[in-house]
Amino acid sequence: MARTTEPTVLVVEDETSQREVLRYNLEADGFQVIMAENGEEALLQVDEYMPDIILLDWMIPLVSGIEVCRRIKLRSDTRAIPIIMLSARSEEIDRVRGLETGADDYMVKPYSVIELMARVRTQLRRSRPASVGEQLEYEDLLLDAESHKVFRQGEEIRLGPTEFRILSTFMERPERVWSREQLLNRVWGRDLYVDTRTVDVHIGRLRKALMQNGGGDPVRTVRGVGYSLG
């Protein structure tokens, strides 16, 4: 039932036509897309889905894009999410303000969709390196996303596909605590109904596999919250 979930992009744009153009191109490029029409909705979507990257229009209702960016970058659990700000403001002072607020990139409208997709992929190499086939390392663990192999202290560990995705998620952001709901969205996909207890079952399988050669348990349970690596 489960499969590798594509990186999730939050599109924050109040113009319907712009949202749909971005949705179409992002989905065609293999991304999951969630959308928000205003700043308040955007902040709620961030809390619920913890997207991998955000495309954020500056001029949106209720809470401005610049303020949404500021709030996201102030929080320790969300500041690592890359934000590409989209704006009709083309003056240098506006670009500087956007970047100083915390935006990772800034594109002026009208923009090239092809260039935007390239910038999205560039930012994903930082936030979701496993999704672009890079190797991840944490202490004595090595995960090779391209060959779909995991090694601990140089010995290969065989994981099921779901356990591999969970470990990839952990290794992309070590020491971050993931709730069961966030892991469900990230690993199983937000459109599938899976009971949160399923997460505990697969975490147990992952722990058993990682400790099969006598190593310690690298997965930490945070009571009442969720799980993290380290």
pLDDT grade, residue 3 (50/70/90)?
Answer: very low
User: Of the residues 97, 127, 157, which one is the last residue of a structural domain?
Assistant: 127
Q: What is the pTM of this model?
A: 0.69
Residue 175 sits in the same domain as residue 137: yes
Residue bearing the bigger pLDDT, 175 or 210: 210
Residues 88-133 pLDDT 10s = 887 888 889 889 999 999 999 988 999 999 999 889 887 777 666 6
Asked if 121 and 128 count as a contact pair (C-beta separation under 8 A), the reply is: no
Does the residue 68 lie in any domain?
A: yes
Across the range 190-197, mean pLDDT stands at 69
Instruction: Please check the confidence at residue 1 and state whether its pLDDT lies above 50.
Output: no
* Predicted pLDDT at 20: 93
Domains in the chain, number: 2
The phi, psi pair for 184, rounded to 5°, reads -60, -45
Q: Is residue 3 part of a domain?
A: no
Range of the domain at 173: 133-229
Q: Which residue would you say has higher pLDDT here, 189 or 1?
A: 189
Count Cα neighbours of 100 within 13 Å in the Cβ-side half-sphere.
6
Alpha helices in 75-193 (DSSP H): 92-101, 113-127, 161-172, 180-183
Report the pLDDT value the prediction gives residue 5, as an integer from 0 to 100.
60
Assign residue 208 the CATH number of its domain: 1.10.10.10
pLDDT at 2 over 70: no
Of 111, 127, 143, the last residue of a domain is 127
Alpha carbon separation from 163 to 23, 35, 190, 205, 206 (Å, rounded)? 29, 29, 17, 7, 6
102 in the same domain as 159: no
Q: Last residue of some domain: 65, 95, 127?
A: 127
- Cα end-to-end span (Å), the chain: 29
For residue 217, is pLDDT > 50? Answer: yes
CA distance 161 to 211: 18
Q: What is the mean pLDDT of residues 151-178?
A: 90
Average pLDDT over residues 212-216: 85
